[in-house]
Structure 1
Amino acid sequence: MGHDTGHRDIEHVDTLVVGSGFGGSVAAYRAAEAGRRVVLLERGQPYPPGAFPRSPAQMGRAFWDPDAGLYGMFDVWSFKGCDSVVSSGLGGGSLIYANVLLRKDENWFVHDRPLPGGGGYEPWPISRADLDPHYDAVEKMLGATPYPLDRVPYDDTPKAHAMQDAAAELGLQCTLPPLAVSFASQPGGAPGLGLPIADAGYGNIHGVPRRTCRLCGECDIGCNDGAKNSLDHTYLSAAAHHGADIRTSHEVKALRPRPGGGYEVDYVHHADLTAKKSRPPVRTIGCDRLVLGAGTYGTTFLLLKSRAAFPGLGDALGTRFSGNGDLLTFLLRARDRNRVRPLNASRGPVITTAIRLPDEVDGVPGAGRGAYIQDGGYPGFTDWIVDGFDIGRDFERAVKFLWDRFTDLFRDAPDTNLSKEISDLIGDGALTVSSLPLLGMGRDAADGRLHLRDGRLAADWSAETSEELFVRVRKTMQRIADVLGAEYADNPMWFRKRIITVHPLGGAPMGAHPGEGVCDAFGEVFGFPGLYIADGAAMPGPVGPNPSLTIAAHADRMATRMLEHASAQRGAGGSADNVPSPTGAEPAGGAGSPDGTGNGSAYGSFSGRHGGSRGPSDVAAGRTSLSFTEEMKGFVTYGETDPRIGELADGRLPLSFRLTITADDTDRFIAEPAHEARAEGWVDATGHGGRRPVEQGTFNLFVEDGPDDRRLMRYRLHYTDGGGRRRTLSGTKTVLHGPPTRIWPDTSTLYVRLLDGHVGADEEDGAEVVAAGVLNIRLTDFARQLTTFRTSGPDGLEKLLSFGRFFAGELWEVYGPDLV
């Protein structure tokens, strides 16, 4: 490969992120915000507003094929049974997606068994509840807002009204889904066309002004106004603000474990974007933590190519590939809601509405697998194509030109000569202003497999095992056509039993154990600590709706776990980051601010930088640390001082925390009466700044309090709320003598008071109580907590057993029978 793997002077960083899509960008931001040294490698180019290709000449070079001297953003893959279009560029798929931010339906987190015919195995080791707080965080960062159809001039969007009318007549559920689009200058402002967008507190990585949506229908070919809150304008700009080193035109070629821990990555730098068939030198970078976010194809391809270096990867690698049920059709010669004028599908963003088809798991017998149908759109080509010829034929000529370029890229692949079909479709008027593209997606069978064939990525997938889903979606689309007085037309490729997917998923799926997945429920690869899958490759099955939001939420949850592990490792004497502690600087104001108030969330900063963390030198040699993670949720009422009243009072607000609790010396923790450990993580106070880092925290286990049959568990967490007010969460679990049936309610119920200021234990009696309530740990979260116990140091298993004996012994002291 031209590199020396034994050379020790290669560049080394704490966290290396590969790819800048919905997985990589979120992970890079979270790690950089927490003060880690982050390098992100993106193979594509940056695209500031105004830089996206528009003319036929520019479009002709807008594809990714470095061997042909093409470094554009459309990356076309052709496989048996399906074709795919994904993105190459700073911001990944967000550059060309249609902005929809829908959550995966709660009932669709299934754990299916294999279906007859070998398809359908879909084991989701996570739930909607696991992702909900992370959905919240991503939606805030991306400025999720529905299309303002009830406002002028947005009410003049014929396709949105047509979809609503059709859904109403057919008795189907229709919504205006949240979109990552700026319709107003700032959150909460009045929408308007082409308004300047207020700069976020973290600035913009491009340094180019943005303006609000002009309803031009160009979302899927890159927004030259910057109205899309794509990842370059949000997460990547925030990551750069926090010190992330973002390197474009850097393509990763291989990866491997690094002797002594961590990983090494080989890459090339495409420094000359005009070169054809160039062979830039291979370089190497090392890291402690490696996050793969190169997309479903890119991540799986890298793992398959590097498989010899990862002998522990199981048979799940390459499995559970699906296209998320993607299906494109057309309604021809459609008219508006009054059937008076042609329906203009180019007005508005690409997608404005979503019709949901229920699933059997929703409690609808016989429904089959669920799906979504959304309106499509396309640019007003004749508004911006300048070719110097017969502009009356610009639209048809441009589309034919693009499809010729599209099919040229995989001309030698079997069954992909589509030019005639596309030409015929255009001739029938499917892609004119009197048509409406319909986009279907849903729970298809995740029975495809990605593998290598002659060194190239190949996919074995067929629409046949998902035929019932596709038939149902097509019939519903035909009914929509009937309501709108339109003619229905399939995508020509459908007759070849092929689909085009823009939502490929799977290949390195998560699972409950190595026999079920490549990575665990948090994206960490089984058997390879510090190696994470952040993108769509980790999905164990179809998301159902547009998967971008779920991928980003998974990456946010993954980053939380990654930072917790890194913090515990540092506290236990593992490798430390040779970087300054984070400053705590927050994004302030402007569109895309994480909490929508101008006070960006600092979640993910687990360094305990205000005194709660101990560095490696604080842990004596030969000692063994123990850590575990705990998450509790409940309600508090501000202005109330009694937790029992605050839990149920009108006006209560959600409160939760997630903590990594670490005893730096397990023997000492067990022996000392206070049984005190460090608590690091976050407190999420709804309405008071959201998720905030714990600046200093302590946890005391089974502290004696009066009688022998009474023990207390105490939590003291210092944080600062969104208004800059210092707060202390003081919580107590009271363990009293009683029957064994009391063990669960006593140990899972935390009575909480929020105190004004950072209050020590000896100062609490005089402190002002600003809120009170009760938090609980759910049984499913407790079961997951049991899997988070970690030790670091000699005799780890023995120390874990010692802790278990101590814990059980204390419970026996309290709940055991009276023997005298």
Structure 2
Amino acid sequence: MAGRTRRDALALVARAGLAGLGAAALGSRAAAAATRTDFRALVIGSGFGGAVAALRLGQAGVDTAVLERGREWPVAPARPVFGSVNGVTDTMFWFRRTARYPGLLPVPVRPGPGVLEVAEEPGLDIWCGAGVGGGSLVYTGVTVAPPRRCFERLYPSGLRYEEFARVWFPRARAMLGASPMPRDVYASGPFLHSRVWDRQVTRAGFRPEPLDSTFDWRVVRGELAHRVPLSATAGDSDFGCGNGAKKTLTRTYLPAALATGHVQLRPLHEVRSVGRRRDGRFRLEVRRLTPGGEVLGTEEFTCDLLFLAAGTLNTNRLLVAARDRGALPDLPAAVGEGFGDNGDQVTLRSQPLVQHGATQGSPCASGVFVPDGCGLPLRAESWVLPGFHGLPAVVTLSMTADGDHRGAFRSDPRTGRVRLTGWGDGSAAAARAALAFSRRVIAANPGTLPLTVPLPPYTAHPVGGCAIGRVTDPEGRVRGVPGLYVVDGSLLPGTVGGANPSLTITALAERALAGIVARAG
């Protein structure tokens, strides 16, 4: 009977998402399990790379714990869960005292474990998801692969595009549940701005293509019919969709990982440092937090296999600090080098006499890849900028395949903090490319005007610092440190190559874990 009860609980995990299941899935052993600090494998972070690692390790029978610094957020259609630009709450930002986001005044907020970290690095704001599901909580769902020509320029010969196109991209896309926006959703009122965007870029000679997305179109249709609270169709999804409109990792990889019975999830466990003990095993200093942000205490976790999936910013912070403090002295000198912002840029344009829609839905319907003519290869996507709804404006997010402009994470000798250095005007080339694309569209659409929004340089897609071929092998094994792996956006060499990073990170992690499991390390 006990076995059956546990199987029933695990089946519920897989069907219903996480919502408090991290301990419940363990049945009567939950209390004892929650106090364990020693595991065969530890995964730091529950975003795209960490969720893949958790599932594939669990399926291989490896005793694994996932340490996630952020909260576990329920899907609760009956009540608001997340804040938004139109209703700022303390759940929005990771330990900030003032809001910092496009369209938001710097209003005071109470510091706590919110869903988005906005790190003000020198010359660049870096955005990072914080919570069970990582970046999947706060991204806008676009699930697209980089063009072959860009991919092949970025990676060593051990990674073949044909293999990714045949195996890893389809596997990742299927697990994430990605699909293009249905025609009826595209034709609805909240996506008039998407139709205007498509019409404008078509007149400029481009051919917009539907993009796969991980929004749940069933829930989006429920919003359109006013059966569920509005979120995606109202443009309020950058800080999470409390009605379940996103297929976050809490509905795909993570519940499947818990259902193996070999994986534990520890939310509100913030890894502060990593190192190695004298016996060769890894040790982690972990700070436990309450949902309100109070510190409950600090513990040491130990493991044989350590998977870094804390996101580009925090994986680099942990590893650079561990190397420079002597906790992991054998780390490659290239750790922290080669950071890039993926060429993220936002541009706006307006046709004042054209209706753009009073409400603009968040999901991205389409995009174009522009290989030349803008200074850099560029992907442009129909986007939404919270706080600008109702204005006669359409928004473009662009990402360039910029192979030149890079920064580095280094320890500040005075404070010991790891900061981004050498960025300077690293965003300038991408900004010029984005403006060149916008000018081509404006020239082809009479009566269209550029709009200038004073945004600080930022990236929602930080990548690099532990690049494949420099710091790791093609399967994420860190050179010189057996048992240490990187499986997040740090693996990418400063750019995805003209795409959003989620699909590429997931596919790289799938390939890495397949090799690691097959070779037992």
TM normalised by structure 1 equals 0.53
Match of 1:546 among 488, 497, 500: 500
Contact 1:43 1:89 in 2 (8 A): yes
Q: How many angstroms apart in 2 are the aligned matches of 1:19 and 1:456? A: 20
Contact 2:465 2:494 in 1 (8 A): no
Match of 1:129 among 156, 159, 162: 162
Q: Which residue of 2 aligns with 1:452?
A: 411
Cα deviation code 1:42-87 (max 9, x no counterpart):
0000122242125877524521128974211121111222112211
Contact 1:149 1:157 in 2 (8 A): no
Match of 1:81 among 119, 123, 133: 123
Contact 1:195 1:211 in 2 (8 A): no
Q: Which residue of 2 aligns with 1:12?
A: 38
Q: Which residue of 1 aligns with 2:361?
A: 348
Kindly state the Cα deviation for residue 446 of structure 1 after the two structures are TM-superposed.
4.4
Q: How many angstroms apart in 1 are the aligned matches of 2:274 and 2:488? A: 17
Contact 1:69 1:274 in 2 (8 A): yes
Contact 1:104 1:128 in 2 (8 A): no
Q: How many angstroms apart in 1 are the aligned matches of 2:63 and 2:465? A: 29
Kindly state the Cα deviation for residue 282 of structure 1 after the two structures are TM-superposed.
2.0
Contact 1:510 1:521 in 2 (8 A): yes
Match of 1:38 among 43, 59, 64: 64
Q: Would the alpha carbon gap of residues 24 and 124 (structure 1) be closer, same or farther in structure 2, given more than 3 Å must change?
A: farther
> Among the aligned pairs, what percent are the same residue?
29
Query: What 5-or-longer segments of structure 1 have no aligned partner?
Result: 1-8, 113-121, 186-190, 197-208, 360-365, 380-398, 400-429, 512-516, 570-820
Q: How many angstroms apart in 1 are the aligned matches of 2:229 and 2:398? A: 30
Q: How many angstroms apart in 2 are the aligned matches of 1:193 and 1:10? A: 42
Match of 2:321 among 277, 296, 305: 305
Q: How many angstroms apart in 2 are the aligned matches of 1:152 and 1:446? A: 37
Output aligned runs, 1:188-203, within 5 Å: 192-194=221-223
Q: How many angstroms apart in 2 are the aligned matches of 1:214 and 1:284? A: 40
Please give the secondary structure, in 1, of the residue aligned with 2:306: strand
Letter in 2 for 1:73: V
Q: Would the alpha carbon gap of residues 274 and 306 (structure 1) be closer, same or farther in structure 2, given more than 3 Å must change?
A: closer
Please give the secondary structure, in 2, of the residue aligned with 1:351: coil
Output aligned runs, 1:583-732, within 5 Å: none
Cα deviation code 1:772-812 (max 9, x no counterpart):
xxxxxxxxxxxxxxxxxxxxxxxxxxxxxxxxxxxxxxxxx
Output aligned runs, 1:465-614, within 5 Å: 467-482=428-443, 483=445, 485-493=447-455, 499-511=457-469, 517-543=470-496, 544-566=498-520
**1:147 and 2:181 matched:** yes
Q: Which residue of 2 aligns with 1:240?
A: 258
Q: How many angstroms apart in 2 are the aligned matches of 1:55 and 1:464? A: 28
Letter in 1 for 2:332: G
Contact 1:63 1:73 in 2 (8 A): yes
Q: How many angstroms apart in 1 are the aligned matches of 2:51 and 2:512? A: 12
Kindly state the Cα deviation for residue 11 of structure 1 after the two structures are TM-superposed.
3.0
Query: What 5-or-longer segments of structure 2 have no aligned partner?
Result: 1-34, 98-109
Letter in 1 for 2:178: A
Kindly state the Cα deviation for residue 558 of structure 1 after the two structures are TM-superposed.
1.2
Contact 1:76 1:83 in 2 (8 A): yes
Please give the secondary structure, in 1, of the residue aligned with 2:346: strand
Contact 1:256 1:264 in 2 (8 A): yes
Match of 1:29 among 51, 55, 58: 55
Contact 2:268 2:289 in 1 (8 A): yes
Cα deviation code 1:740-791 (max 9, x no counterpart):
xxxxxxxxxxxxxxxxxxxxxxxxxxxxxxxxxxxxxxxxxxxxxxxxxxxx
> Higher relative CO (CA 8 A, sep ≥ 6), structure 1 or 2?
2
Output aligned runs, 1:147-186, within 5 Å: 147-149=181-183, 153-154=187-188, 157-184=191-218
Q: Which residue of 2 aligns with 1:47?
A: 73
Kindly state the Cα deviation for residue 532 of structure 1 after the two structures are TM-superposed.
0.8
Q: How many angstroms apart in 2 are the aligned matches of 1:128 and 1:484? A: 41
Please give the secondary structure, in 2, of the residue aligned with 1:299: helix
Kindly state the Cα deviation for residue 137 of structure 1 after the two structures are TM-superposed.
1.1
Q: How many angstroms apart in 2 are the aligned matches of 1:455 and 1:147? A: 47
Q: How many angstroms apart in 2 are the aligned matches of 1:36 and 1:353? A: 40
Q: How many angstroms apart in 1 are the aligned matches of 2:91 and 2:185? A: 39
Q: How many angstroms apart in 2 are the aligned matches of 1:86 and 1:345? A: 29
Greater shift in the superposed pair: 342-351 or 220-229: 342-351
**1:251 and 2:270 matched:** yes
Kindly state the Cα deviation for residue 152 of structure 1 after the two structures are TM-superposed.
7.5
Q: Would the alpha carbon gap of residues 258 and 462 (structure 1) be closer, same or farther in structure 2, given more than 3 Å must change?
A: closer
Contact 1:220 1:350 in 2 (8 A): no
Cα deviation code 1:88-142 (max 9, x no counterpart):
1111111110100000211112447xxxxxxxxx868523224231111111111
Letter in 2 for 1:294: A
Q: How many angstroms apart in 1 are the aligned matches of 2:463 and 2:406? A: 11
Q: Which residue of 2 aligns with 1:632?
A: none
Q: Which residue of 2 aligns with 1:273?
A: 292
Match of 1:220 among 238, 250, 255: 238
Q: How many angstroms apart in 1 are the aligned matches of 2:349 and 2:410? A: 37
Q: Which residue of 2 aligns with 1:357?
A: 370
Q: How many angstroms apart in 1 are the aligned matches of 2:454 and 2:381? A: 19
Contact 1:162 1:484 in 2 (8 A): no
Contact 2:359 2:389 in 1 (8 A): no
Please give the secondary structure, in 2, of the residue aligned with 1:347: coil
Q: How many angstroms apart in 2 are the aligned matches of 1:463 and 1:432? A: 35
Q: Would the alpha carbon gap of residues 477 and 461 (structure 1) be closer, same or farther in structure 2, given more than 3 Å must change?
A: farther
Contact 2:190 2:233 in 1 (8 A): no
Please give the secondary structure, in 2, of the residue aligned with 1:256: strand
Kindly state the Cα deviation for residue 157 of structure 1 after the two structures are TM-superposed.
2.2
Q: Would the alpha carbon gap of residues 461 and 344 (structure 1) be closer, same or farther in structure 2, given more than 3 Å must change?
A: farther
Q: How many angstroms apart in 2 are the aligned matches of 1:230 and 1:267? A: 25
Q: How many angstroms apart in 1 are the aligned matches of 2:384 and 2:400? A: 19
Q: How many angstroms apart in 2 are the aligned matches of 1:446 and 1:34? A: 40
Q: How many angstroms apart in 2 are the aligned matches of 1:510 and 1:210? A: 44
Contact 2:360 2:389 in 1 (8 A): no
Kindly state the Cα deviation for residue 34 of structure 1 after the two structures are TM-superposed.
2.2
Q: How many angstroms apart in 2 are the aligned matches of 1:100 and 1:303? A: 29
Q: Which residue of 1 aligns with 2:249?
A: 231
Contact 1:534 1:554 in 2 (8 A): yes
Cα deviation code 1:683-709 (max 9, x no counterpart):
xxxxxxxxxxxxxxxxxxxxxxxxxxx
Kindly state the Cα deviation for residue 504 of structure 1 after the two structures are TM-superposed.
0.6
Contact 1:82 1:461 in 2 (8 A): no
Contact 2:190 2:359 in 1 (8 A): no
Q: How many angstroms apart in 1 are the aligned matches of 2:214 and 2:87? A: 30
Please give the secondary structure, in 2, of the residue aligned with 1:474: helix
Q: Would the alpha carbon gap of residues 350 and 441 (structure 1) be closer, same or farther in structure 2, given more than 3 Å must change?
A: same
Contact 1:100 1:179 in 2 (8 A): yes
Letter in 2 for 1:545: A
Letter in 2 for 1:356: F
Contact 1:268 1:282 in 2 (8 A): yes
Q: How many angstroms apart in 1 are the aligned matches of 2:476 and 2:228? A: 34
Q: Would the alpha carbon gap of residues 55 and 473 (structure 1) be closer, same or farther in structure 2, given more than 3 Å must change?
A: closer
Q: How many angstroms apart in 2 are the aligned matches of 1:54 and 1:542? A: 29
Q: How many angstroms apart in 1 are the aligned matches of 2:87 and 2:178? A: 34
Q: Which residue of 1 aligns with 2:25?
A: none
Q: Would the alpha carbon gap of residues 127 and 473 (structure 1) be closer, same or farther in structure 2, given more than 3 Å must change?
A: farther
Q: Would the alpha carbon gap of residues 473 and 195 (structure 1) be closer, same or farther in structure 2, given more than 3 Å must change?
A: closer
Kindly state the Cα deviation for residue 160 of structure 1 after the two structures are TM-superposed.
1.8
Contact 1:30 1:239 in 2 (8 A): yes
Kindly state the Cα deviation for residue 327 of structure 1 after the two structures are TM-superposed.
0.6
